[in-house]
Amino acid sequence: MSMEPFINIRRDLHQIPELGFKEFKTQQYLLDYIATLPQSNISIKTWRTGVIVRIAGSSASKMIGYRADIDGLPIEENTSYSFRSVHEGTMHACGHDVHMAIALGVLSHFAKEQPKDDLLFIFQPAEEGPGGAKPMLESEVLKDWWPDEMIALHIAPEYPVGTIATKEGLLFANTSELFIDFKGKGGHAAYPHTANDMVVAASHLVTQLQSIVARNVNPLDSGVVTIGVIQGGTKQNIIAETARLEGTMRSLSIESMVRMKQRVEALAKGIETGFDCQITIDYGSNYCQVYNHKESTAEFINFTSEQPSANLVICKEAMTGEDFGYFLEKIPGFMFWLGVGSEYGLHDSRLEPKEEAIVFAIQHLTQFLQFKMS
């Protein structure tokens, strides 16, 4: 099977990134391509902007699922590509275009060469937010197509092409978005005693939030509280009536995430009292940890270690978040990092994954699935 079409597919998809649950062009592109494949063993469902494809096995005793996420990020692209995003302010800066191209490559192989067991390819929307995995699992769409095992990958810019990195157990952290809104009383800068300044209140809370990991998380565990956005005020001589903080929290244990949220709320109550204001907290999208199941991961590690074309790395857990964790809560399976050798990292406007990784991944995953079904 020629691999060049999947490089071109990746480039096509790279030009039409769309945000979560708005992947209308992406969904249609996927459906149009899948329609060109032999249809004798294929069944297709859609769920919101996602696509689910089942390939019937010749003598199936199980169903193996493979998930690729399909959404982009609200980032203005700054790459050297001739096939840059045509959607202003939106980019595939997390490699989901690569993820889709790989999944279509593996799907194409087994559409043309019927597998022994059933295969399920899930093109999932909204991984970057607000989260597509959890509501998809809770919907009726997978009720009759429930996999016995799930597999997924994520590109890793820091590893060269040909590298596969994974581990048994915890791979990705528990994550939570964090949005904090402040409401006080605005006024003239010359009369601060008549107002309640929410820029000052928000600034105090930002400083206090940094004590959570240092003093409330077990030092043998790991946690992160990052405030990435602070907004407040309209003019230099007006005391701000409102302010807003936006950030993220991450932990390597569920217990630490619970504790961190408790401390955010306690500190916010103190600010409310101290600055005579109202604070509301929204945790936005919450993703559970990606926890690789021992048996499935060991099988993949053993297989990969025997492939001369692959460089296997047993990596450490990372603070990145991924809603594939919801699949692994319900279904045995694993996720792995795929080396793509980019100078710039995930969520960077200059991310340029090496396309040779697409060819490598299609071949490796195809061979692994054939091995599992032998």
State percent of the chain over pLDDT 90. 98
23, 77, 118, 128: the active-site residue: 128
For residue 362, the number of C-alpha atoms closer than 13 Å in the C-beta half-sphere is 25
Cβ neighbourhood burial of 324 (10 Å; 0-12, 13-18, 19+): buried
Handedness of CA 315, 319, 320, 326 (dihedral sign): positive
Distance CA 347, CA 77 (A): 10
Rg (CA), the chain: 23
Question: 3-state SS of the chain: helix, strand, coil percent to 5?
Answer: 35, 25, 40
pLDDT at 285: 86
91-143 pLDDT per residue, tens: 999 999 999 999 999 999 999 999 999 999 999 999 999 999 999 999 999 99
C-alpha dihedral over 262, 267, 271, 274, to 10 degrees? 120
| Statement: residue 188 has pLDDT above 90 | yes
Two structure tokens written together for 45: 């469902």
Domains of the chain: 4-172+289-372 (3.40.630.10), 174-286 (3.30.70.360)
Measure the CA–CA gap between 65 and 67, rounded to whole angstroms: 7
pLDDT at residue 182 greater than cutoff 90 = yes
57-69 residue pLDDT tens: 999 999 999 999 9
Burial tier of 58 (Cβ tally within 10 Å: 0-12, 13-18, 19+): exposed
Q: Is 144 part of the annotated catalytic residue set?
A: no
Q: Helix (H, G, I), strand (E, B), or coil: what is residue 318? A: strand
- Is the sign of the CA dihedral 36, 37, 40, 46 positive or negative? negative
CA–CA separation, 70 and 76 (whole Å): 18
Confidence of residue 1 (pLDDT cuts 50, 70, 90): confident
Tokens of 31: 């459906």
How far apart (Å, rounded) are the C-alpha atoms in residues 251 and 228?
17
Cβ atoms 259, 215 nearer than 8 A: no
Residue with structure tokens 């990435």?
Answer: 228
- Residue 304 pLDDT > 90: yes
Strand partners, 150: 65, 333
Counted residue by residue, the chain has a size of 374
The share of the chain scoring above pLDDT 70, in percent, equals 100
- Asked whether the predicted pLDDT for residue 87 surpasses 90, the reply is yes
C-beta separation of 267 from 182 below 8 A: no
pLDDT reading at 29 higher than 90: yes
Whether 128 is a known active-site residue: answer yes
CA atoms within 13 A on the CB side of 235: 6
pLDDT-based confidence at residue 184 (cuts at 50, 70, 90): very high
What pLDDT does 3 receive?
Answer: 85
Choose, from 18, 23, 69, 97, the residue flagged as catalytic: 69
Instruction: Round to whole Å and give the CA distance between 362 and 111.
Output: 14
How many CB atoms are closer than 10 A to CB 371?
14
pLDDT in tens, 317-363: 999 999 999 999 999 999 999 999 999 999 999 999 999 999 999 99
Measuring CA to CA, which residue among 54, 95, 106 is closest to residue 73? 95
2 pLDDT band, cuts 50/70/90, is confident
Residue-wise pLDDT for 306-321, tens only, equals 999 999 999 999 999 9
- Distance, CA of 348 to CA of 78 (rounded, Å): 9
* pLDDT score, position 133: 97
Per-residue confidence band for 275, with pLDDT thresholds at 50, 70 and 90: very high
pLDDT at 298 over 90: yes
| Kind and range of the H or E run holding 183 | strand 174-183
Q: What is the mean pLDDT of the chain?
A: 97
